[in-house]
């Protein structure tokens, strides 16, 4: 009996060993990953994860995602998780599941993505953008992190989207018509939920409106008006236009215009009392022709931002084989003789200055300002022609008139062109 019991226990132990050995040789189907959670930046991207599997059926494991922004792809034992950019301002999550192949338990991977930046769309919008009558370009900044478009309702303006530099280039050729042109340019995000479209008004003026061309024309030269002493009353109440005649070192002051002299008249003069402002390099320079001397031409620097011109006084304006002629700031000392109703000059000097020239709003008067005011010293300043001979000394150019006063005026007189 005892022998039978021992045999029974031996058989049970052998059976258990056989069963245990069979389980180790044939483990349960199983899927596993080393990364149960992954994190993506707001820009999105792709991540590859190695998947380990044991004793799966022929179909193997299959991936799936519960979010449309998170895609999965299987390549052998590699799982690729692909995430789109997050354009929302909130963190988002998805669950990727690996299952199938007879696995008893599915494996899940927690996918999270950082919040995206707030979607912005802003155009640096002015009330009106202006383009020069001669054509040009306007740059409009666009501040956006979303896709946007730009269109124009007029053919004369070309719109170019420069997404890389976040700007719009508006380009127009010269306006040859007599009418100003206007266009509406619409800038809008592709996703209409981001912001409302922005409309820009673009205007191109005519040549007649162009500040540069308003300078062109024929002008009379006028000296400053001063108060002259009245011979009868002795009071300074008679306005006079002050001109100095460079006949000699003792010249005279003339009223109204050269040729009308108190006590003396000169029939011969080299002075012009008119001039012309001509076009030169557009928006950069102008030409002043015949100013105080026939045929003389000065190049004037033009500032398009301030619509002003610079006149150099001290430059050579003409040259011959025996002398050079300069346009200079001229300083004259004078005395007034009441009995003769005239100023007598007894000393003249020259200097170099730059005059700032501005044009009136109606383009009728050009004011040349910048001559020093020396009236307190018994002197008057103006503009005149000076010669320099072979000796190198300077002298008032003979038989010329010099407009005097703190300012010199050019008065438009297009009828005399």
Q: Which of left, alpha, beta for 131 (phi over 0: left; psi -120 to 50: alpha)?
A: beta
* Residue corresponding to tokens 């044939």: 26
pLDDT at 256 over 70: no
What's residue 22's pLDDT? 46
pLDDT averaged over every residue in the chain: 83
What's residue 317's pLDDT? 85
More reliable by pLDDT, 263 or 330: 330
Q: Are 113 and 144 in contact (CB under 8 A)?
A: no
What's residue 88's pLDDT? 83
* Residue corresponding to tokens 């509406």: 184
Residue 210: phi and psi, rounded to 5, are -70, 125
What's residue 10's pLDDT? 45
pLDDT in tens, 49-61: 999 999 999 889 9
Cα gap 179→58, rounded to integer Å: 80
pLDDT in tens, 99-124: 999 988 999 999 999 998 888 899 98
Cα gap 258→401, rounded to integer Å: 6
pLDDT in tens, 142-153: 999 889 999 999
Give the predicted TM-score (pTM) of the model. Answer: 0.64
What residues contact residue 112 under an 8 Å CB cut-off, 6+ apart? 37, 38, 39, 40, 91, 92, 93, 94
pLDDT in tens, 204-231: 999 999 999 999 999 999 888 665 556 6
What's residue 352's pLDDT? 81
- For residue 172, give the nearest of 147, 203, 145 by alpha carbon: 203
Q: Which two tokens stand for residue 228?
A: 């002259």
């Amino acid at each position: 009996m005892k022998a039978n019991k021992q045999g029974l226990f031996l058989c049970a132990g052998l059976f258990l060993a056989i069963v245990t050995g069979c389980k180790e040789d044939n483990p349960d189907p199983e899927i596993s990953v080393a990364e149960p959670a992954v994190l993506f930046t707001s820009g999105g991207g792709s991540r590859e994860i190695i998947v380990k599997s044991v004793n799966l059926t022929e179909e193997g494991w299959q991936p799936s995602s519960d979010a449309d922004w998170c895609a999965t792809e299987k390549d052998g034992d590699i799982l690729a998780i692909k995430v789109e950019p997050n354009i929302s301002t909130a963190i988002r999550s998805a669950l990727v599941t690996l299952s199938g192949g007879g696995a008893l338990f599915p494996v899940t991977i927690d996918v999270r993505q950082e919040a995206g930046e707030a979607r912005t769309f802003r155009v640096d919008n002015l009330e009106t953008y202006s383009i020069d009558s001669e054509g040009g370009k306007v740059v409009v900044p666009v501040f956006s992190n979303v896709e946007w478009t730009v269109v124009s309702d007029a053919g004369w303006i070309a719109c170019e989207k420069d997404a890389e530099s976040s700007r719009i280039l508006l380009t127009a050729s010269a306006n040859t018509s007599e009418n100003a042109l206007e266009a509406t340019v619409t800038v809008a995000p592709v996703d209409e939920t981001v912001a409302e479209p922005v409309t820009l008004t673009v205007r191109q003026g005519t040549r007649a409106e162009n500040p540069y061309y308003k300078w062109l024309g024929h002008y009379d030269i006028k000296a400053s008006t001063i108060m002259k002493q009245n011979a009868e009353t002795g009071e300074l109440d008679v306005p006079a236009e002050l001109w100095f005649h460079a006949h000699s070192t003792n010249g005279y002051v003339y009223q109204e215009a050269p040729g009308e002299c108190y006590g003396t008249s000169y029939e011969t003069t080299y002075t012009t009392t008119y001039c012309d402002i001509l076009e030169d390099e557009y928006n950069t320079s102008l030409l002043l022709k015949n100013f105080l001397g026939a045929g003389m031409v000065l190049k004037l620097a033009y500032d398009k931002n301030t619509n002003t011109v610079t006149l150099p006084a001290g430059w050579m304006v003409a040259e011959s084989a025996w002398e050079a002629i300069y346009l200079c700031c001229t300083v004259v000392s004078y005395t007034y003789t009441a009995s003769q109703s005239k100023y007598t000059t007894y000393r003249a000097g020259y200097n170099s200055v730059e005059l700032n020239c501005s044009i009136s709003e109606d383009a009728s008067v050009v004011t040349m300002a910048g001559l020093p005011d020396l009236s307190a010293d018994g002197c008057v300043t103006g503009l005149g022609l000076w010669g320099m001979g072979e000796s190198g000394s300077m002298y008032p150019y003979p038989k010329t008139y010099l407009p005097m006063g703190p300012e010199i005026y050019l008065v438009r007189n297009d009828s005399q062109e």
